[in-house]
Amino acid sequence: MTIKEITCSCLNLKYLDLKGCENISKEAIDRLVSLNPNIHVENFVSTITTPDLIGALSDLLSRYSNTSIAINSQFLTQSTLISRAVDRILADQAECWYSTDLTNPEL
């Protein structure tokens, strides 16, 4: 049943619960109330139009993407620095190991 059908056929309607109803515009509800000012409408949830939804999702994804890129680049920078430090420590240990003359403990 449409809002228009409700308006025409239920002239004495006092209460309308829209829980679970979809694709109902604010304009339709405003028209219903203007034709029947005594009606009480509950659980009306305005439907997000497709362009609005796409815009909201686009904003959300770009914010997530930018945050993710910043976190990943920071992690990669820290990871690279740690990796270089570990490589240098290992190189120093290897140099120390190979430069030590085990046959002559005094050196």
Q: Could you tell me the two tokens for 77?
A: 């920078």
Q: Could you tell me the two tokens for 35?
A: 């034709």
Alpha helices in 3-104 (DSSP H): 3-9, 26-35, 50-99
Rounded to an integer, what distance in angstroms lies between the CA atom of residue 57 and that of residue 49?
12
pLDDT, tens digit, 9 for 90 and up, residues 3-16: 778 777 887 888 88
- Domain map (residue ranges) of the chain: 3-42, 49-100
Judge whether 39 and 33 are in contact, CB under 8 Å: yes
pLDDT, tens digit, 9 for 90 and up, residues 29-50: 888 888 888 888 888 876 655 6
Q: Give pTM, 2 decimals.
A: 0.41
